[in-house]
Chain A
Amino acid sequence: MSSLIQKRSSLLPQTLTLRRHFVTRLFSPSFSETQTCNPSSSNRKYPIHGSGYDFLRKNFTGSSLISVGNSKLSSGSDLGLLNSIHFRLFSSQVAVEPSTSDGLTVEGIIANQWPILEESESDWKSHASAIAQSIHLIKKRLQWKKLLFRLELLSSQLDKPDLWDDPVRAGRISREHGSLIGKMKEVKAFEQELLEHIEMIKLSREESDADLESESLKALIEMRRSAKEKELEALLSGDNDIYSCFIEVQAGAGGTESMDWASMVMKMYKMWAQHRGYGVTIVDEMPGEMAGIKRATIKVDGEYAFGYAKAEVGVHRLVRISPFDSAKRRHTSFAAVAVIPILGDASAHVQINESDLRIERMRAGGAGGQHVNTTESAVRITHIPTGVTASCQNERSQHQNKASAMAVLQARLDQLEMARQAQMNAQHTQSLTEISWGNQIRTYVLHPYRMVKDLRTNYEVSDPDSVLEGDIDSFILSFLSAALDKDEADM
């Protein structure tokens, strides 16, 4: 890696100048300027991931870096580039922990155990302590050690000269590298900003500059607030969390009883998604003979739909007095939930060979053609090599049903491929991949008492109605934080 930098430096003397700019910039006293180094909202995070990737591509395809070097410092993509450079230097000397001039580090702040007071208390130590705690939590949620290790591994792969012999693999590695750098860099910048404000406060006290002190204190409060947002964001830092997804519900054994339960679960997700402002489309629905659904697939459109919904994967169990049982006995029913991300990046899709597909019209009995007038044009597509199928019947034309089924098939095959990749990179698998179709995750009891309990987190509420009306965010968040926060070793 260092050899790469040397090579680039010799080609491009500007790089070093830029780096110097960058470093001085980080320590510049103006609050508003340093803010630009810390993209705090999620929509700013992604362009920078992308630029990390672009930067690498430029590097490896050998196209000009000059134009990048000459462009203005303040734009987001340049920051991505600069931070990538910064990181490449940094990662070869991981031991260098950012600190203030008198040696205070983020870990040091935590070790000091300054009491965390209300936000309204203007005690900088309290703010600093709260922010440091957040950074600690964020790092834990990002599985910091694994992340750094993975980055190191990816960097070494990127440095191999034969990398682009397999462009698909190379693209995947670049993308992952870019995305991880983005996350790493954001946390680093946040730490840096904290230390910088502390430095400013100390400085302002020495110089008795009350204006500067109050300004820096304000900046700390601001950071404390955005740190809370970042904690939440870090819960959704998985590779595909940002994407839209399909949610599938399948009735377990037990006939009408389970089919009714499956439709209740599906309704819960529809309402949840609508409350969150996501777009909801029914893709596929197999109604039960008497009531409910045998299975159904909905598409949930919107940022982080997969990140949240993935927490719902597993078997959901219902206990109630059956409305279908004339003897009014208590019944237990099951419904299985699967969630599939819809990858936004077309180049990440598995290539599907047209000749590997079998496309069938469903429920098409009789002579067809002019003989039949029906609005039913359901289509099932089978990917012959894998046996994966997808169907759609809720569109108003066969063509659209086919297109929708194709989108589901693509997502399923992508997920299959991701699972394969994840197995190959076993050291990087998140604990979330442990969740599987077969695991029972939550029980909903309507009788003899009323309760919904998550079996993974033991989180429970006593109001099943509101949960079944889509109020499941607290279940999702408690699961996501439990899944990511339990592992102190990842720090």
Chain B
Amino acid sequence: MRLGFSLPSLSKFSPIFSHYNPVQPISSSSPTSLKPQTPLFLRPPTHSTTLSHLQKWQNWAKTLASSVTSTDNGPDTTLLLRELNWLIEDALENPKSILPQLGNEDMVVTLRAELKDLYVLWKQRIEERRPFQYVVGCEHWRDLVLSVEEGVLIPRPETELVVDLVSDVVEGNEELRDGLWADLGTGSGALAIGIGRVLGTCGRVVATDLSPVAVEVASYNVQRYNLQDKIEIKLGSWFEPLKNFEGELAGLVSNPPYIPSEHISGLQAEVAKHEPRLALDGGANGMDDLLHLCCGTASLLKPGGFFAFETNGEKQCKFLVDYMKNELKGGFCDVDIVLDFAGKERFVTGFRSKTNYQ
């Protein structure tokens, strides 16, 4: 199997020096520009202030964080104070140099954002409940630092495990390790990049997303990890961009929207008000996309190919396993439920049967 990957066009965005406007319109479903934002920690350190001004801001921010009382499972003060430290870490050119200098109030510190923007950003975090990852423009996920912004789902810690599952499966299986993998609904590109890094030299990943913002952000992240020759990001719904690859995929993973529609409004503000509904809402019982994926997977995977889906929990896992065993009889084998680190049934994994089914 040969794939001709074209290099994503660089002219569309110049990520490092793109201008960032900290006063973002909230829940912007249709951003005016598709140019991905540069995460705070990668912006040029062109601003400066004195240590005492920074400390004044920090004290203000601490006070704001201490005033928080969350009613919807949102962050508590401890967590917010930790986030504040991370914000400082990302905003300073050289965070380590500050510590020994404490007390030297006139010392000039170099920042990657104007001090007044830091006030705006922290206010957004506390008062508007803008997710911390959007505030700093990045999410630390596995050993990666991924750019994220409004319109793209912030990858969750649970999802990290999918890469471990793939890593376990490709270990000692050359055919899978050097095969073609798909990540459907890639969002920030987290799974595609995580998997791209555990595959062999010939292994490739093709990732799809319906959202143009997600495609841009994922492409930017792929570039940042210099994986553009290994990972291709395509715009389109689920399998649509993969029509040419029927029966050729060595593996397929997805973290599709799986929250039942009626639950969305009750979620914590960070999710409900700021993250894209497109990436969360899985229809009436949350299974719409998972079931669609199951059906397509059978025809896309080659015999012996591996799949892993993230789900909402025990109920969806059981339903999926049951569906695969009964409705898609013989199509899959070794179908299994895998727990996340919180002990919740979270993933359904399995292989396409080696023999023809039905």
Contact = CB atoms under 8 A, between A and B. Distances in A.
Interface of A: 274, 287, 359-361, 364-377, 379, 394-400
B344 A368 contact: yes
Contact of B160 (A371, A372, A376, A398): A398
16 contacts: A274-B99, A359-B341, A360-B343, A361-B340, A361-B343, A368-B158, A368-B340, A368-B346, A369-B258, A369-B313, A375-B83, A397-B139, A397-B142, A397-B157, A397-B160, A399-B143
Given A365-B73, A400-B143, A373 B131 contact: yes
Contacts of B73: 365-366, 372
B324 interface: no
Chain B CB count within 10 A is highest, among A364, A365, A375, A398, for: A375
Task: Tell me whether chain A's interface is mostly helix, strand or loop, or mixed.
Answer: loop
Contacts of A364: 341-342
B100 interface: yes
B102 to A, nearest CB: 10
Contact of A394 (B82, B99, B280, B310): B82
A370 B280 contact: yes
A273 B133 CA distance: 31
B160 A373 contact: no
Given A371-B259, A373-B275, A399 B142 contact: yes
Contacts of A374: 75, 79
Interface stretch (B23-31, B219-227, B266-274, B293-301): B266-274
A65 to B, nearest CB: 39
Nearest to B257: A370
Nearest to A381: B341
Given A395-B140, A398-B160, A373 B268 contact: yes
Interface string B75-103: 10011001100100000000000011000
Interface string B151-174: 001101110100000000000000
Contacts of B263: 371
Contacts of A366: 73
Given A366-B73, A370-B255, A376-B79, 6 more contacts: A361-B343, A369-B156, A369-B311, A373-B268, A394-B82, A397-B144
B188 interface: no
Nearest to A270: B99
B211 interface: no
B332 interface: no
Contacts of A399: 141-143, 160
B167 to A, nearest CB: 12
Given A365-B73, A369-B156, A369-B158, A375 B143 contact: no
Given A359-B341, A397-B142, A370 B259 contact: yes
Interface in B259-286: 259, 263, 267-268, 270-271, 275, 279-280
Contacts of B132: 375
Contacts of B255: 370
B156 A370 contact: yes
A398 B144 CA distance: 11
